[in-house]
């Protein structure tokens, strides 16, 4: 896999001039987004692990195989951030998800250990509303005992109101599972 960091965009006008399909990864701060992106790209340290929650509000663009962009969206987790920062994040996310001017699909990340938060549900609501192709990637599944995983997955599906059509990928940056399934889904979306 050929990967190239392109740029960090603070707003829509700063997105790369070259238009390609975008696959955006989004989730709560600390949900394991950087770790999953690094696993996916097979590059250690490509996405920065554990920045301060909510601090950066940048769309980070990576060009993959000269074919599509993987976009690392700013993590959310509103408990720790100011109202101003929260409003800025909401504005940027809605502008990005509803722009409609570029081909876009989204991978929403959920930590396998936790019941989805209000912000997680808000995000899923926007994805449904924007009618974007989207998949759910459950992260850190190695942290949940095998016999408990099914119940955790069901809770995520129920809390977010996911339909059976929503692709649902259990992943772990530790066991390295799930990245291949995500790649296959992206290939399928690109082929449509
Ligand atoms: P981000 O804030 O969403 O980018 O999350 P990070 O990728 O920085 O991960 C947050 C924390 O969870 C770090 O301490 C990671 O080492 C840990 N972590 C991330 N993915 C996994 C995983 O698949 N399994 C385990 N056990 N820990 C993980």
What is the side-by-side strand order in the sheet with 3-9? 3-9, 59-64, 68-72, 22-27, 104-111, 134-139, 168-170
Which atom of ligand 1 is closest in space to residue 35's alpha carbon?
7
Q: Whose CA is nearest to atom 28 of ligand 1?
A: 140
Q: Would you say the C-alpha torsion 5, 128, 75, 11 has a positive or negative sign? A: positive
DSSP letter, residue 17 = S
CA of 142 to the centre of ligand 1 (A): 11
CA distance 192 to 59: 25
Which SS3 state, helix, strand or coil, does residue 128 take? helix
Q: Whose CA is nearest to atom 12 of ligand 1?
A: 32
CA 60 to chain centre: 12
Asked if pLDDT for residue 46 goes beyond 90, the answer is no
What integer best gives the mean pLDDT of the chain? 93
- pLDDT given at position 44: 84
Does residue 178's CB lie within 6 angstroms of at least one atom of ligand 1?
no
pLDDT in tens, 89-137: 999 999 999 999 999 999 999 999 999 999 999 999 999 999 999 999 9
Q: How many domains does the chain have?
A: 1
List all residues 6 or more positions away from 175 whose beta carbon is below 8 Å from its beta carbon. Answer: 141, 142
Which atom of ligand 1 is closest in space to residue 38's alpha carbon?
7
Q: How confident is the model at residue 16 (pLDDT cuts 50, 70, 90)?
A: very high
pLDDT in tens, 161-170: 999 999 999 9
- pLDDT given at position 54: 47
pLDDT in tens, 72-95: 999 988 677 788 888 999 999 999
CATH value at residue 66: 3.40.50.300
Give residue 39's domain range: 3-191
């Amino acid at each position: 896999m050929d990967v190239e960091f392109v740029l960090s965009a603070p707003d829509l006008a700063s997105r790369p001039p070259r238009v390609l399909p975008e696959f955006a990864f989004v989730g709560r701060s600390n949900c394991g987004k950087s770790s999953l992106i690094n696993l996916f790209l097979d590059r250690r340290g490509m996405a920065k692990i554990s920045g301060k929650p909510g601090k950066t509000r940048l769309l980070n663009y990576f060009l993959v195989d000269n074919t599509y962009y993987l976009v690392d969206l700013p993590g959310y987790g509103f408990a720790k951030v100011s109202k101003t920062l929260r409003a800025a994040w909401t504005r940027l996310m809605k502008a990005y998800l509803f722009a409609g001017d570029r081909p876009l699909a989204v991978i929403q990340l959920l930590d396998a250990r936790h019941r989805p938060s209000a912000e997680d549900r808000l995000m899923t609501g926007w994805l449904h509303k924007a009618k974007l192709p989207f998949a759910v990637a459950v992260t850190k599944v190695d942290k949940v005992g095998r016999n408990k995983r099914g119940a955790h997955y069901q809770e995520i599906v129920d809390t977010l109101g996911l339909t059976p059509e929503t692709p649902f990928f259990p992943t772990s940056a530790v066991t390295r599972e799930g990245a291949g399934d995500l790649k296959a889904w992206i290939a399928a979306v690109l082929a449509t």
